[in-house]
């Protein structure tokens, strides 16, 4: 085999990487710590909701979705959802709402964050009209 997949000898230096110019990418705060806090929050929320990570405006966010129990073994029906940001403000990390950025818990206070998130999801579910023939569970 020849080309870039050819093994080099241990005493030979690796060839230089091509220059790649990156523009308009500047993170004031790295996503590593943010991702760690959001991962701990996702674990704390448990199986009652589905969570996944998204990338919005150069930051990792946590999407949280509540589902209705499936009628007679059918597919899960999403009934409420929200986006959680993790922001660094006032020299500490905070969980904040995705839409307006309002902080609701310190990032190391997972219990308060979980109670707040479940409260918001329950509020959305209570305000949601039930589809014909279905009961919206809280």
Q: For position 52, what pLDDT does the model report?
A: 94
Buried b vs exposed e over 109-133: b needs ≥16 C-beta within 10 Å? ebeebbebbeebbeeebeeeeeeee
Model pTM? 0.70
Number of neighbouring beta carbons within 10 Å of residue 136:
15
Examine the pLDDT at 81 and tell me if it is beyond 90: yes
Q: For position 76, what pLDDT does the model report?
A: 76
Q: State whether the Cα torsion 93-94-99-100 is positive or negative.
A: negative
Q: CB of 53 within 8 A of CB of 38?
A: yes
In 1-138, at which residue ranges do the beta strands (DSSP E only) sit?
49-56, 59-68, 77-89, 92-97, 103-106
Residues 3-30 have pLDDT tens digits of 555 555 566 666 666 665 655 555 555 6
Sheet bearing 92-97, strands edge to edge? 49-56, 59-68, 77-89, 92-97, 103-106
């Amino acid at each position: 085999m020849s080309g870039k997949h050819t093994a080099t000898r241990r005493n030979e230096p690796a060839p230089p990487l091509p220059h790649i110019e990156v523009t308009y990418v500047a993170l004031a705060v790295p996503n590593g710590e943010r991702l760690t806090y959001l991962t701990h929050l996702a674990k704390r929320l448990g199986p009652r909701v589905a969570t996944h990570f998204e990338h919005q405006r150069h930051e990792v966010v946590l999407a949280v979705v509540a589902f209705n129990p499936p009628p007679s073994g059918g597919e899960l029906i999403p009934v409420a959802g929200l986006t959680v940001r993790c922001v660094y403000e006032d020299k500490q990390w905070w969980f904040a709402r995705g839409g307006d950025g309002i902080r609701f818990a310190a990032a190391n206070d997972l219990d308060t964050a979980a109670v707040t998130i479940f409260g918001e999801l329950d509020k959305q579910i209570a305000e949601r009209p039930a589809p014909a023939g279905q009961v919206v569970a809280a």
